[in-house]
Chains A and B, each alone.
Chain A
């Protein structure tokens, strides 16, 4: 087994790990939703996280299992992941997402500070939930958009 095959095997193992964790988390979410429906907590978030992890696992498996059969595509996949332009694009996207995330957290902090003295409505219940959801989704959107834009421009 050469280094490249070892590298692909480790990625496949990671894929199985993501898939298994995703299934377990999703089942736990569904179970909790059925058993503890009386609790004031939305267990769908746990199920959703499980589905997301499982999806990542499937993505890994599809990508790397195909490469295991063909030495040429294994080499290209390995090169693609270490490619300096790709790394640059991902780093720039991560940097942008980080600053957007920091700005959103700061905005939330300012809102809470003003809400404490009654100048703004308090972030509670659904409003807080949506604010936090936006705080996760917007940086993720910025990350993906940045990658797409830089792939075209660089």
Chain B
């Protein structure tokens, strides 16, 4: 699933570690999320969206085609 995590993180001037600390995950998880290799749990998606004061769908871009490829 594509996402705009890196874009919003940079816009806030946070490092990957700072973002990881704020949502209580490892830095490696943030790296994987930004690289699109890992899809977060619904709880983590909510935490990230709340942190950036966004709706989940503004942060994570869901497309049906991707689901069929997984």
A and B co-occur in one complex:
yes
B-contact bits for A57-83, CB 8 A (1 contact / 0 none): 000000000000000000110011011
In the bound complex, how far is the Cα of B21 from the Cα of A2, in angstroms? 18
Q: Which residues of A contact B50 (CB under 8 A)?
A: none
Q: Categorize the interface residue count of chain A.
A: 10 to 19
A80 touches B38 (CB 8 A): no
- Whether, in the assembled complex, B41 has its beta carbon less than 8 Å from a beta carbon of chain A, the answer is yes
In the bound complex, how far is the Cα of B28 from the Cα of A153, in angstroms? 11
B37 touches A80 (CB 8 A): no
Q: How far is the CB of B66 from chain A (nearest CB, A)?
A: 16
In the complex, the chain B residue whose C-beta lies closest to that of A83 is B26
Q: Which residues of A contact B40 (CB under 8 A)?
A: 84
Q: Pick the 7 closest A-B CB pairs, nearest first.
A: A85-B29, A83-B26, A79-B24, A80-B26, A83-B25, A154-B38, A84-B41
**Which positions in B face A, CB cutoff 8 Å?**
20-21, 24-26, 28-29, 32, 37-38, 40-41, 44
